[in-house]
Amino acid sequence: MMRRCLLLMTIALLPPLPIALGAVGMTWSTAGAQQFAEGKLQGVSVRSTGEVELAPEREDIEGLTAEFVWDLAAGEDGTVYAATVGPPAVYAVRDRRAELLHTSDQKVVLSVLALPDGSVLAGTGPNGIIHRISRAGRVTTFADLEAAYVWDMALGPHSEIYCATGPTGKLYRLNRAGEGAALLELKQKNLMCLAVAPDGTVYVGTDTDGYVYRVDGGGRATLIHDADEDEVHALYLDAEDRLYACTAQGEESARPGPPAGSADAHDPPPMTPPPAAGPPGAFISIYRILPERGAERLLRIDRVFMLSLAPMGEQVLLGTGAGGRVFGVGPSPVSRVVTELDAAHVTAMVAAGAQGVIVGTGSPGGLFRLRPGMRRTGTYLSKPFDATYLSRWGRLWWRHVAGGIGSDIRVRVRTGNSSEPDDHWSDWSPWAADPDGEALDRPAGRFAQFAAELRGAPGVDGPRLVEVGISYLQDNRRPRIEDLLVDGQSVLGKSAQGEGGRPRRPSNSSSRDEQKTPPSLRQVGWQAADPNEDELIYTLYCRALDETEWRLVAEDVRADGPHVWDTSRVPDGLYVLKLVAGDRLARPGPEALTDERVSIPVLIDNRGPAVRDLRAIRRPDGSFRITGTVRDELSSITKIEVSQNADDWQPVFPDDAMLDAREEAFGHETDVLEPGEHVFVFAAADARGNQGSGKVVVQVP
């Protein structure tokens, strides 16, 4: 694919997102430049500030039959010339019609240049021949250059002709008879584009390095801009000597060269359009270059295929392959999508004085005329919105900036159940004219689309659309309780294993100083979700295993917990919990749905273990062995400690070395005790953190 055009890119835009309407329903809101740019622009423009407005006037030019318009040039008499591919030809555009002027025997016509005498030059490939076509249609060879491709041509102030060529990076300067030679040769393979100042200074854009050179009359080249991108595709010099450069960058930029299987090393690649989406990371930029002051990037568009530049009023237009869109930048920071044409690619543009800007397209090839004045009417068609589930559609409203008297906006909506509108979608609703909103009478559906018509009036500013909102309510789906937890552990029968299959340490196995909450306070939490994103409300119940009726623990809880369950007034034993989640806050009574889950048995144990049967046995050396038993009615014993005469607590181990039962026998060996009274306090804790103690007093004579 030709290097000048076929760089693979397309706009990456964010989809409009649903916005919650408090507790009930959602709103599909479309606002901002990125969201509006996803829609179809039929006679409207989108500003970077997020406003949709009427586009410039557009006329179709008939008579052209080609796959691509490759280049355009405007003559002094108002005639516009078009170079085409498929077939390679030159057309003359006068008024509203294009007439075939010449069909080339070369494979491609890459560039055209209108001369002051009314003739036109056609630069070709792959043999670097330039033909001259007279007013009468007579074709002669103007020049045969030592190059394969004549990528661009420009006229100098003294009617000299500059030719940018490849693949040897030569810039030619020819006289009116087609005589001349290479003015300079650069290290880049292809010189892609030219612009010539009134004083004869030539600006050249290259491939490979993305360089822009300034070339003086003696052929001395000065690098004035090194773009971040690889290729400079188009240059435009305005009346204030500001140079605009369009650049492109892609992971796999196309290079001129022979197609596969070609016997001629200078044959260009096949003339096929690029695919709709380009390689990831591809983008274009437009720079404004002041040769003595540097360059400023005005606009960058990701994943876009860019081709051409042309002025219109105070704006500079960029032709792209983003669905046939034309972008515009100006002196202010505001840019916009100017218009969208009925083609895949905008391949060429030229300013034609009072005729406005002539635009050439590819896939299919076509010609259009854009004029600075605004259209009288235009329509914005949104991208279909996916509500993700069958929905009822409520109220339509919009915000706008009013235009002058006689201008207005009206909006309509249609719905369906396929991602792309088809014959099975509903009819359009009647046009709504009140921006404050009105109820929609469209069938329920998963998808919806709106169309906004903007209408202007002569001599007044047109309206600007800022935002469109449509409320909707999904058919209700049951909420889902995904987990129920007590003290951080799932009680829905899920595994109690931690990460990697390792068991979790019981939370109440910490020391008595680390015990932060009373054992009677249980933390109950849950995880739940609603497919409709409705707000949920929860009710928690409990009952003992030997009971048949549920007891209320908490109701109308709006958070996922944790809820503190005070079990101090609950008899010890095994209990099950039931959690009910409902969406009645977001749904009227008959539509409200609930989900409920019942836990596995949960132990309630608020009584501490008993320390008993303490006995102190004196040994011959004056030490003692103290034995005893710790027993708990419901939970296993997790800790036994001893304090002698109020000293620090020391661990005591059970006789079988394992704390794993509700009753544990233990023994404690003392040191040799001094004469007098010694008090030993034994404390124990169960798996719930409940504590109990007992003491024994030892008298030493």
**CATH number, domain containing residue 112:** 2.130.10.10
Pair (452, 494) in one structural domain:
no
Tell me the C-alpha distance between 518 and 511, whole Å.
14
Pair (578, 633) in one structural domain:
no
Cis peptide before 435 (omega within 30 of 0): no
Tell me the C-alpha distance between 354 and 342, whole Å.
24
Place of tokens 């309510």: 473
Listing DSSP states for 634-652 in one string gives SS-EEEEEEEETT---EE-
Place of tokens 């794993």: 660
Tell me the C-alpha distance between 147 and 155, whole Å.
19
Residue 688 is assigned to a structural domain of this protein: yes
User: How much is the pLDDT for 300?
Assistant: 83
Tokens for 56?
């410039």
| pLDDT lower than 50: segments of the chain | 1-17, 20-23, 252-281, 495-514
C-beta of residue 402 within 8 angstroms of C-beta of residue 477: no
The one-letter amino acid code at 404 reads: G
Question: How many structural domains comprise the chain?
Answer: 4
Residues in the chain: 701
Pair (361, 412) in one structural domain:
no
Pair (625, 490) in one structural domain:
no
* Residue after which a domain boundary falls, among 431, 449, 474: 474
Q: Measured at the alpha carbon of residue 38, what is the angle toward residues 33 and 39, in degrees to the nearest 5?
A: 105
End-to-end Cα, the chain, rounded Å: 110
The residues, ordered by sequence, that sit 6+ positions from 103 with a Cβ below 8 Å of its Cβ are: 87, 88, 89
- Residue 19's Cα: distance from chain center in Å? 17
Pair (86, 101) in one structural domain:
yes
User: How much is the pLDDT for 303?
Assistant: 58
Per DSSP, the three-state class of 609 is coil
Pair (79, 227) in one structural domain:
yes
Per DSSP, the three-state class of 501 is helix
CATH number for the domain harbouring residue 522: 2.60.40.10
Tokens for 257?
């060269």
Burial grade of 260 (CB within 10 A; 0-12, 13-18, 19 or more) = exposed
Q: What is the pLDDT of residues 424-437, one digit of tens each?
A: 999 999 999 999 98
| Cα Rg, the chain, nearest whole Å | 41
Residue 38 is assigned to a structural domain of this protein: no
- Residue 206's Cα: distance from chain center in Å? 32
Q: What is the DSSP letter of 441?
A: -
Closest-CA residue to 370 (of 390, 406, 401, 346): 346
Pair (325, 337) in one structural domain:
yes
